[in-house]
Structure 1
Amino acid sequence: MDKSEESASALSFTDNISIAWSKIDYQPDEAHLALVNESNESFLRAVSAISEFSKETSDSSNPALSQELARLDLKLNLLLDLVGQLIYSQLDIPDISRVTVSSAQVDWQDGSVPEPGSIVFVQVYIQRGTPKPLCFYGEVVSSPDDYRRGWARVRYLGLSESVQVWLDKLIFRHHRREVAYRKSSSP
């Protein structure tokens, strides 16, 4: 791993989120990867737009407009949460695990994890209240010892440059929030 890859994968966020995986018996071709990348880019753009909306409205030079937009934002978030809860109750969303998402891979611990060296399709529910997961193909790069302890480490396969950029933005935003939370929690 060169220095640029090392620094890119250094940022990560860890959260209690749902994750599912399935072993595949084929190497994903360009058509599969293109479909997954298109869906992921759209999803990551939407997550970014939802996350950044509040910050943009607070910078407004018109306080009345800013207040009204913030009120509408809260109502929309409440509506999205309620719809998300309804959909979650109808879907078979996996149990929550402690998951670490980085620029290069996803790590988690569970009672059932994929074997080292296998190719898997992974679904990570990174946005609470949204029943749409971030999906990707990956190669399991866990060590045999990690596997015996129930740890999985899956490196992304075939992420497009655009998806990688949006994923890095998401990771940075989450990381920044973790740091701010730790600072506000410490005496």
Structure 2
Amino acid sequence: MHTDEKWQQFNERMAFEGGMHVAVDAFDAAPDAIARYNERNLHILRTLASLDERRSENGMDVDDPIMLELQRMDSKINVLLDIVDRLLVPVSMLPARHPVRFNAAGIVLPESLLVSDQSLLVRLHVDTCRALPLELPSRLGRKLNDGHAFVYFCDVNELVEDGLERFVFCHHRRKVAEARLTAATESVSGGKNRA
């Protein structure tokens, strides 16, 4: 597929936008390595989806004492996972945080991160599971006029592509919910101030 088509695909899809720990390395794409990366990325995306599901379930109001106790235990487990994650990969060991925009087609990132115009490996450390970065074989699509570059993902299998789409959709849904909650909270507190 031509890089213009990749760029168009990228722009037609919903995208994650925000700061993320990201690094780009040169990559020698051996077929067995591609299969391992796809398998590992699928495992990581399933883990992220599971953590996201647990987080959304915890937001529900529940009066059942057993469910409340399970939620407390779940919160404690999440704290322990976070501690282990921070011990495994301290912030000082992570690549720098950069503004990115990505979806299953590719990623827009600072051009300064590029180490080559050839095969690349983009490493994305998601905050909820920093110790397990997504490692996505990629190629440079185009350099943009604002100091950023579009890098498209290649050799990503369909399951990983679906997982990336789900991750982006869940992130978008969470942002919309947070915006609504903020707007509702501001309207309530604004009404109290007028009263």
Normalised to the residue count of structure 1, the TM-score between the two structures is 0.81
Match of 1:12 in 2: 15
| Paired residue secondary structure (2:93) | coil
Deviation at 1:35, TM superposition (A): 0.4
Report how far residue 10 of structure 1 moved: 1.9
Amino acid of the structure 1 residue aligned with 2:20: I
- Sequence identity percentage: 22
Correspondence 1:184 to 2:185? no
Residue 5 of structure 1: CA displacement? 4.3
Does the aligned pair in 2 maintain the 1:109–1:151 contact within 8 Å?
A: yes
The unaligned stretches of length 5 or more in structure 1 are none
Q: 3-state DSSP class of the match of 2:128?
A: coil
Deviation at 1:89, TM superposition (A): 2.3
Mean alpha-carbon deviation: is it higher for 66-75 or for 177-186?
177-186
Encode CA deviations 1:29-58: one digit per residue, 9 max, x unaligned: 321110000000111111111110244467
For the residues of structure 2 that align with 1:6 and 1:99, how far apart are their CA atoms?
Answer: 13
The residue that corresponds to 1:66 in the other structure is 67
Distance of 1:108 and 1:12 partners within structure 2: 13
Question: How far apart in 1 are the matches of 2:14 and 2:101?
Answer: 10
For residue 32 of structure 1, give the secondary structure of its aligned residue in structure 2.
helix
C-alpha distance in 2, partners of 1:61/1:180? 19
- The residue aligned with 2:190 is none
Q: Deviations over 1:99-126 (max 9, x none)?
A: 21212011112644345x4220110002
Alignment partner for residue 171 of structure 1, among 162, 168, 171?
Answer: 168
Instruction: Say if 1:104 and 1:57 are closer, same or farther in 2 by CA, change over 3 A.
Output: same
- Of the two, which has the highest radius of gyration? 2
| Higher normalized helix content (fraction of residues) | 2
Of the structure 1 ranges 29-38 and 124-133, higher mean CA displacement relative to structure 2 is found in 124-133
1-structure distance, mates of 2:24, 2:54: 32
Residues in 2 aligned to 1:103 and 1:90: alpha-carbon distance in whole angstroms: 26
User: Does residue 158 in structure 1 map to residue 159 in structure 2?
Assistant: no
AA aligned opposite 2:147: G
Contact 1:114 1:152 in 2 (8 A): no
SS at match of 2:132: coil
Out of 81-90 and 134-143, give the one that drifted further: 81-90
Which aligned segments of 4 or more residues in structure 1 are displaced greater than 6 angstroms? 57-62
Distance 1:114 1:129 in 2: 25
Alpha-carbon spacing, 1:183–1:125, altered in 2? closer, same or farther (3 Å):
same
User: Structure 2: which 5+ residue stretches go unaligned?
Assistant: 187-195
